Chain A
């Protein structure tokens, strides 16, 4: 029952966004812009591109998710509907899960587009590793968006909040970034992958357990 409420909030956000094509398209084009900038900055040959790809993917995802996170509560703010959202007949944790789900789906769509695009633009012939690589990205995105949406709530009432969001998110996701890059590198170049996957799972569990609880404290009056 309760998860239907979460699902409805996520659905409302996604449909609203698809209709205006606002967040999703800006995230997608931002991701493409980052890829172009990388190519211009490093101009890697094929071997280098294969080595740099994991880091490139994760840095792009991190910056792109900052674009999306800055707008998580945009719809509510424009209509002044944040209080209305909190009045929804569901526990606060479920409201958080709904918001998180909406952001998660948007980020996953961007990743599904980003990964083949990065393969093509950087001439990386690793199509047989496509789905395992996408799996690693999904695994990391669970924790990344959980922490990100929570920080977006926290910085909502702050001045210069987008800068603050980046300042807080980047150090806190450092473990996820390390584990994600190492896991993807192990996949592309061989090496031990299990430990890094485990680290990502731990990160996901910790933040998916902590974030709904913290959200409850944040919006309590």
Chain B
């Protein structure tokens, strides 16, 4: 247990170093000839979007494992992963919207990818609400796990339907064209920031999972004492 805490602290330090390195590269990155300085927004936006999806993958794997093996550990990971994913999705939405203002001229253009992330964010909120709305913790774990799996099946359908919807009904000049790809000297900060965000996600997950685990232990002990 103590060793686990040391590992977590180490992860936190690695995250800080990676973030500092990434930010140094971002600071020194040349301005994009099309987007100018606004390209710096993408160094936060793109890794956040990737992590919002990656967190859902972790959430799904933990949920499947929990349903299958009925292990408590997987359920703790699942409970902790939902708010972490929600945080990444929230930053993705905010940064995408702010990027859109100078680039598209509006805060919100119902861009296909941003719309999908918005649905993902609502789904994360629903998953958190589902768990907290039930008194029986064991049942809450199982119901939430099934909800996560339903969402995992639904997300690709949402993504494709929104994609078709936006590309068929919107001229490509506004929003439909999506974001230009990043190459050359702008790639280095993006890669480092992406790695840093993976470390940050893992660290946040560990911090939250520790709190969840302790709360469950405490509740169990209190119940035990009431019975005794």
**Direct chain A–B contact by Cβ atoms under 8 Å:** yes
A residues contacting B by CB (< 8 A) are 147, 150, 154-155, 157-161, 164, 167-168, 170-172, 174-175, 178-179, 182, 192, 195, 199, 202-203, 206, 210, 214, 217-218
Q: How far apart sit A182 and B169, CA to CA, in the bound complex (Å)?
A: 10
- CB of A217 within 8 A of CB of B142, answer yes
The contact of A172 among B125, B135, B151, by CB within 8 Å, is B151
The contact of B133 among A147, A158, A203, A210, by CB within 8 Å, is A158
B223 within 8 A of A: no
- Tell whether A172 pairs with B133 under 8 Å between CB atoms, given A167-B126, A178-B165: no
- CB of B161 within 8 A of CB of A178, answer yes
22 contacts across the A-B interface (CB closer than 8 A): A158-B133, A158-B134, A164-B133, A167-B126, A167-B129, A168-B147, A172-B123, A172-B154, A174-B119, A175-B157, A175-B158, A178-B162, A178-B165, A182-B165, A195-B164, A199-B164, A202-B157, A214-B146, A214-B149, A217-B67, A218-B143, A218-B146
Residue of A nearest to B125 (CB): A167
- CB of A154 within 8 A of CB of B154, answer no
Give residues 156-193 of B contacting A (CB, 8 Å): 157-158, 160-162, 164-165, 168
Residue of A nearest to B67 (CB): A217
B150 within 8 A of A: yes
Residue of B nearest to A200 (CB): B161
- CB of B161 within 8 A of CB of A175, answer yes
Question: Using Cβ atoms and an 8 Å threshold, which residues of chain A touch B143?
Answer: 154, 157, 218
B10 within 8 A of A: no
Total contacts A-B at CB 8 Å: 79
Question: Using Cβ atoms and an 8 Å threshold, which residues of chain A touch B150?
Answer: 147, 150, 172, 210, 214
- With A171-B126, A174-B162 known, 12 other A-B pairs at CB within 8 A are A154-B130, A154-B143, A157-B135, A158-B133, A167-B129, A172-B123, A175-B154, A175-B160, A178-B165, A179-B161, A182-B165, A218-B146
Interface residues on chain B, size class: 20 to 34
Question: Using Cβ atoms and an 8 Å threshold, which residues of chain A touch B119?
Answer: 171, 174
Q: How far is the CB of A219 from chain B (nearest CB, A)?
A: 10
Q: How far is the CB of A205 from chain B (nearest CB, A)?
A: 11
Q: How far apart sit A71 and B95, CA to CA, in the bound complex (Å)?
A: 41
Question: Using Cβ atoms and an 8 Å threshold, which residues of chain A touch B228?
Answer: none
Question: Using Cβ atoms and an 8 Å threshold, which residues of chain B touch A154?
Answer: 130, 143, 146-147
Question: Using Cβ atoms and an 8 Å threshold, which residues of chain B touch A158?
Answer: 130, 133-134
The contact of A217 among B125, B130, B146, B153, by CB within 8 Å, is B146
Residue of B nearest to A203 (CB): B157
The contact of A206 among B67, B122, B135, B157, by CB within 8 Å, is B157
